[in-house]
Amino acid sequence: MHHTQVCGKTADYATMARPRALTARRVDVPRPLASVGIPIETPVVHPAEVIPGLLPATGQLILAGDTNVGKTLVALEIASAILTGDPLWGALPVRRGGKVLYVLAEHHTSVLQGLWGVTGLPVPPKSLWVVGPHEFSDHHVLVRGAPQLSVLQQMQAWAAECALVVFDPLAAFIRGENVENDNAQMRLLVDSLTGVAERAGAACVILAHSGKPSRGEHGERIQRGEYRIRGASAIEDAASAVFYMEHGAGGVFTLRRRKYKGAQEPRTYALARDPETLRHTLVSGRPATHDTRARFLEKLQKMTETMLRPDAIRLLCSLEGVSESTAYRWADTP
């Protein structure tokens, strides 16, 4: 019998999947409507969230952006917050969990370890587990449209008892000719990766690359339209939450909500990045408070640590919908 060590535990593959007998087929008894549906007037119960407004408890968060914009940094920060219970970016409440699985499909695990070392993000011992392609060479979940059940079973074993599973990046978990542009295959891929997390009772984060911008007549960069993820549009159709990560003015990075099946505010999270630790601090996108002026000045103070005051005021006003004259009045009045 074949056994292997998975996250410190022994997994027995012989018991992981048992096909149904071909001679006896189970017939499910229809369930009464009252056991599966609700009357429309029933009090609303919103979907559970691990991080309100950002990470749903079921489904998935797809975080898309250009190469090196910082998607992996954000994924590590989310993992650290879940494992410690500390507010994400010093502001957003998090539902704490016991273990995180990070599946890398492109880079060696040492790359992620090095980045984590720079950030100094706290995680309890043996709580953040990383699997790289050199340790798991057959990591393709779909090959020419066919799900690879042995790969899914292996991932499912790793995900046991995890509170979060991160897949990085989406396109590296599928193989075939021009598959990134195939709506049916990419939707199946998103659903398959999400299923690994959901069956373990874990939240799911999937990192994805943005499509390359086109060039104008004179070589100028022309940004893509509303849809930014590289490949088929079905990727977004299948997702519960989609955020685009972009590099804004004055060294501030933004997570802009493209889609979220939950609370619709805030639309944008603005993050200031520490140049030494690479860790982010939230400067816009906190839950609303009654003291608008105090909140604005608190954000402004953090932003001026990394950028000039006029630039910080201009950017923060655009994010908060506050006029610059009001901002200067608040800032200059004791």
Tens place of pLDDT for every residue, the chain, 334 residues?
444 444 444 444 344 444 344 445 566 788 899 888 999 999 887 778 999 989 999 999 999 999 999 999 999 999 999 999 999 999 999 999 989 999 999 989 999 999 999 999 999 999 999 999 888 878 899 998 899 999 999 999 999 999 999 999 999 999 998 899 999 999 999 999 999 999 999 999 999 998 765 444 555 444 545 667 888 888 998 899 999 999 877 778 999 999 887 765 678 899 999 999 999 999 876 554 446 778 888 888 888 888 888 888 888 887 776 778 778 878 887 6
Query: Reduced to 3 states, what is the DSSP secondary structure of residue 57?
Result: coil
How far apart are the C-alpha atoms of 285 and 306, rounded to whole Å? 18
Burial 290-319 (b: 16+ CB within 10 A, else e): eeeeebbeebbebbbebbeeebbbbbbbeb
Of 57, 47, 45, residue with least CA distance to 94 = 57
Query: Reduced to 3 states, what is the DSSP secondary structure of residue 322?
Result: coil
Of 284, 214, 228, residue with least CA distance to 71 = 228
Q: Euclidean distance between the first and final Cα of the chain, in Å? A: 74
Omega before residue 266 within 30° of 0, cis: yes
In whole angstroms, what separates CA 60 from the centre of its chain? Answer: 7
- In terms of Cβ atoms closer than 10 Å to its own Cβ (0-12, 13-18, 19+), residue 245 is buried
Of 289, 303, 287, 305, residue with least CA distance to 313 = 303
pLDDT at 283: 86
pLDDT at 218: 52
Task: Give pTM, 2 decimals.
Answer: 0.75
How far apart are the C-alpha atoms of 242 and 60, rounded to whole Å? 8
pLDDT at 264: 59
Q: Which distant-in-sequence residues (6+ apart) come within 8 Å of 128 by Cβ?
A: 79, 80, 83, 99, 100, 102, 116
Which amino acid type is present at position 266? P
pLDDT at 21: 42
